[in-house]
Each structure stands twice: as structure tokens, then as C-alpha cells.
Chain A
Amino acid sequence: MKLREMRPVYVIGIGLHRYRPLSDTPYVRLGLTAVRAALDDAGIAWRDVQGAYTGVTRLGMAVSRPMLRHLGATGIPMTQVENASASGSSAFRLACMEVAAGVSDVVLAMGVDKPAPVQRAESLAGLPSLAGGHIVPFTKYALLADEYMARYGASPADIAAVAVKNHRNGARNPFAHRRKERTPEEVLGDRPIAGHLTRLQCCPVGEGAAAVIVASGEAVDRLGADRARCVRVTASAQRSEELYGPKSFDAELTRETTAAALADAGVAPSGVDVVELHDAFSIEELQYVEAMGLCGEGEAAGRLRAGEFDIGGRCAVSPSGGLLAMGHPVGPTGVGQIAEVTRQLRGEAGDRQQPGARTGIAHMVGVGAVCIVHVLEAAVRDGAAR
């Protein structure tokens, strides 16, 4: 059953702890900062929340309660969610499902994380490979960049332009890990990592927290939340990798999952005003905007150059700064995207505001590979939520 055919689900509160390099601050304090901000934003109390899902990847077992108990013990269900880079997106999806199904009326989806050593389960599969530990995410995306440039005649500057835009957006985001505008020369001339990717074209992985509160329409009315600031979640799609041969599995997975989400929401790609996508590496944005249908295959570099994906352009892509500038603390990232899209659809994004934004999507891929896409729609401005 499509989410849109179930009980309507609304984002009623958002909160963040700034993404930043690793510090001595315990995760508990990062997470509580985000949750308290989300409760304040929604105008509700912790005792109104009936369930919690926490996206987290590197903090060990049983993360939620040592943090959330400091809001007052209410006995609600608490569950950790791990889905690699998409952990926060999965936490949000589960919270939406729980409300849509009528199991709960008000649910917290959050993410919190700090850098720490991590083991990939695939390395425990007992199977040999040709390149083993030599192939890490940035290697894979450097290979995809090489293939993209050869296929479409794109230049290193075309790919670096993604980072220039997203660093510009991140410079305006108080919650961003990287808050500095960068020139094309700075991006291209930065320390080389792999292939044509430089350090400023690879996302920073630090610490942070993000929280959103989702609620049913009945709860919105009962709690007296402002309907004009409630953003409806109209689709939630999640898929895992199939066999695509030499094609980029992340792009193919993005194509399938985004198409499913937009179909469920009844929205055409041309109807999307704001996109937060998984730009862990600059090349990804060019591939994903094409895979999402925001432009044709091989057209992304030209459309980006023409300003179509800028704030104020046809469709703002990663107005938060994306993973490249806002950062990728992993557990919180997918939840932080929902916070940004919500802010945009409320018209509260300040100098990052995409004018007239009504429909937004949030997209993450995670190693595995998995892909999760949510579609959100603004409330009708006359006060009646859709």
C-alpha cells in the first residue's frame, strides 16, 4: 500500500546539532540538543512522543535510552536503526510507517553519530576479491567520474562545479560542517584524493545530530500544532541493489527508487522544487539528477552551469550544502535532509530559501547498496493541510 493511501503523516518539528569535526562532547549531549530543538519547534512536550527511532552506525549497542532518558522516562518504545549512510533515512521511514499505520500518533526519528572505527559486514562474507581493501567509497566514485567524463565529454571543472555550488549553500547554513565559499580554482587545486576528486569534492565525516517529529493529522489538531508549518510526507520508497552490470549501481538504484517515490506521490520530476541528495562525492550529484529525471542523461553539467540547480534556479539541489558542505556524520544525515526540506517547504530557510518551494525530495544511498527516497509537500497556505 502507498503511504499516500494510508493515514496522512506530517513532519511537525525539526531540530539539529551542528555537524562538525570530532570533539570530546558525548553523543548524549549532541542528540539531546537536536531532540529538544525539535520538540520546541513542534511546540510539544516529550511526554507527547509515543515512539523513537535512532539512526546510528558507530556508537555501539543500545544508543537511544542513555540519551533519551534525560528527557524524562516515559517508557516508550526505542529502537536503533543501522542502514549505513541511509540509517537516518530508514529511521524516518519507520517512524512514518508507524504513524501511517495508526500504531502511534507522534513519533521521533533522529540520528546521532561520532567518528569511530567501523567494520563492514561484507568483509566477513568469507569471499575473496581482486582489489580488497584498496577499493573504498572515494575510489569507486573516482572510477565513476572517469567513466562519466569519457562518456559525456565532461571536464574535471564540470564535476568540481557541484562542490562550488554546495560549498556556497553550506556557507549560509549555521548547522553545516563546512561553512566557507570556495572558488572553482580552490576546489580543483585542493589536495588530490583519487582520480579527479580533490578533498573539497569529498564529504567531511564528523559528528552531529538531527531530529524530526512526525505526527498524524489527529495529533496535529489535538496538540495544537500550526497546520501551516506542517509538511506532509507523501511517499516513502526504499530499494536494494539488483544486477546492473558495469552501470553505476548507485545511479540505477536511484533511478528505480526515485521513480517509485514520485509515482506514489503523484508528482512528475518537473514538479520537484527542492532536492537533498547523497552528494558524498561531487560526481554523484551529476549522476543522480539525471537518474532522478531532473534532466536528461549527460545534461547535468550544462544545466548546473546554467544555474538550474542553484537556490533560485529551476530546482534547488542540496540547498543545505549537501553532504559535501553540511557534512555526513552518517547516522544523522538522512534525518538532517528531512529537516532541510521541511524548512524549505515552510518557507523558513532564510537566505537559503528556494522561492515558492512546494514539493521536495530527500534521497540517500547506503553501502549494501540501499536507496531511500521520501517526497514531502508543503501545507496549503490557507491553513488547511493536505
Chain B
Amino acid sequence: MAEPHPAARRAVIADRRPSGPPDLRGIRCTACGRAAFPAQDLGCERCGADGAALRPAALAGAGTVSAAAIVHRHDGPGIGAPFTALAIVLDDGPFVHALLDGDGSPAPGTRVEAVAAGTDDDGGVVEVRFALAERAAGGAE
């Protein structure tokens, strides 16, 4: 039996909350305490613990920009330019690359918050971008 194409079943990566930015679906390692995104049970990158030792953890969808860059051209299929790429240190620890929901190039130190940018047929959040904190608080979604 043919497996569905991976693109046809994108993983849910965040959960909406009654108020504030959505939580990111991450993990916390019960052996060493490391928090990580995305969720996985393959093994902790710090200590190697796997399976049940990696507990699902809701990571706050908030962080601080460490770098930003406007991408002027991109050859990837279905990827339009320009867009702004961000390097973000999440408040819960993980360092991630993500896309800005908006224009411009926020300075290092700028506070950002997650916004749900895409959902699947069941309403699960499958795409997350980050917006400037004051804008996200004003209800970008």
C-alpha cells in the first residue's frame, strides 16, 4: 500500500491557547532537562535518552531575535521572495530559525511572538511564523 506523500500530512507543530501566542510542540528530556523543538522520540541531542524519556512539552511561543535577514531571492519550489528570516532564542531555551510575519528586518533584541500561519483540515497548527510582540498582542491572527 502506498504511503501518503509527506506533504499531504504535515505535522501539527503548535497549539492555540485561549489568549496569547500559540504554544510550540516541543519536548523536555527527563534525563538531562534539555528542552528542544520540534517534538521527537528519536533521542535527546544532549544525552541520548530516547522514547518515553522525552516528554512532550508546551514551549512558550515567545522569544528574542538574535538576527534577521531579508531574503531577496529564493530558488526553492513554491517559495516566494522577498521574506524575512529570523534567528530566535525562545524564552524556554531552544534556538530556532523561523520566518517573520510581516516586512522589514527587526534589530537583534526585538521581542517576537508566534502566530498560527497555517492549519490543517482539523484546525491543527501546521505552520508558525513570528511577529513583533506588540503586533502579535494586537491580534495578528
Chain A contact residues, CB within 8 Å of chain B:
126-131, 133-136, 139-140, 142-147, 150-151, 191-196, 243, 245-246
B87 touches A128 (CB 8 A): no
* Alpha-carbon distance A151/B66, docked complex (angstroms): 10
A134 touches B74 (CB 8 A): yes
A195 touches B69 (CB 8 A): yes
What interface size band does chain B fall in? 35 or more
* Alpha-carbon distance A147/B85, docked complex (angstroms): 13
Q: Assess whether B73 is interfacial by the CB under 8 Å rule.
A: yes
Q: Which residues of B contact A145 (CB under 8 A)?
A: 69
Please report the number of residue pairs spanning A and B whose Cβ atoms sit closer than 8 angstroms: 94
Q: Assess whether B98 is interfacial by the CB under 8 Å rule.
A: yes
Given contacts A192-B73, A193-B72, 8 further A-B contacts (CB under 8 A): A128-B10, A128-B11, A135-B85, A136-B74, A143-B67, A151-B108, A194-B85, A196-B69
* Alpha-carbon distance A175/B119, docked complex (angstroms): 51
* Alpha-carbon distance A296/B108, docked complex (angstroms): 23
B79 touches A128 (CB 8 A): no
Q: Assess whether B135 is interfacial by the CB under 8 Å rule.
A: no
* Alpha-carbon distance A139/B67, docked complex (angstroms): 11
CB distance from A378 to the nearest CB of B (A): 40
* Alpha-carbon distance A245/B95, docked complex (angstroms): 6
What are 27 sample pairs from A and B whose C-beta atoms fall under 8 A apart?
A126-B6, A129-B38, A130-B37, A130-B97, A130-B98, A131-B85, A131-B96, A133-B76, A135-B97, A136-B76, A139-B69, A139-B71, A143-B67, A143-B68, A143-B86, A146-B68, A147-B66, A147-B67, A193-B71, A193-B72, A194-B70, A194-B71, A194-B85, A195-B69, A195-B105, A243-B45, A246-B87
In the complex, which of the residues B40, B86, B99 contacts A127, with contact meaning CB atoms closer than 8 Å?
A: B40
Q: Which residues of B contact A147 (CB under 8 A)?
A: 66-67, 87, 108
In the complex, which of the residues B67, B71, B96, B98 contacts A144, with contact meaning CB atoms closer than 8 Å?
A: B67
CB distance from A86 to the nearest CB of B (A): 21
Q: Assess whether B54 is interfacial by the CB under 8 Å rule.
A: no
Closest chain A residue to B94, Cβ basis? A245
